[in-house]
Amino acid sequence: MTALDQLQPANPREVNIFAPYMRNEKRVLLPLGIALYRQGRLEGQRGIEGGDNVDFVASWTIANLPADLSRCTVMFDNSVDLQYEISITTFELVDHLIDVIINYKKHRIADFSKGFYRKLLRLE
């Protein structure tokens, strides 16, 4: 059982603060997205087409308000040479963490979306 399987929904008061920032289709998972955000860390695997998945550890600073900035660091393959960092609004990071939860429910692999990686690698 992974940390994603053991998530407990966030406090409804906190969910209400974030709700206006989330698209309607993601609001149902907002309590779990906030709970994951509050952990400040995620271990997962980046899916590689035609190759082996690459392990990663993501960590971030925890802010209190949706519009506050969080500093997010992702290290691949336990290598400092493969470490990337971005500053992102808390609500955007929670949105990406909801995508992780959706992906995990479908494929049983904790991985960010392509959109998150484009932002992380500054391809947007």
Q: What are phi and psi of 76, to 5 degrees?
A: -100, 145
pLDDT per residue as tens, the chain (124 positions): 678 999 999 999 999 999 999 999 999 999 999 999 999 999 999 988 888 899 999 999 999 899 999 999 999 999 999 999 999 999 999 999 999 999 999 999 999 999 999 999 988 6
Q: Are strands 69-76 and 83-89 parallel, antiparallel or unpaired?
A: antiparallel
E strands in 1-124: 41-46, 54-60, 69-76, 83-89
Cα(81)–Cα(63) distance, rounded to whole angstroms?
27
DSSP state of 41: E
- pTM equals 0.94
What are the structural domain ranges in the chain? 3-121
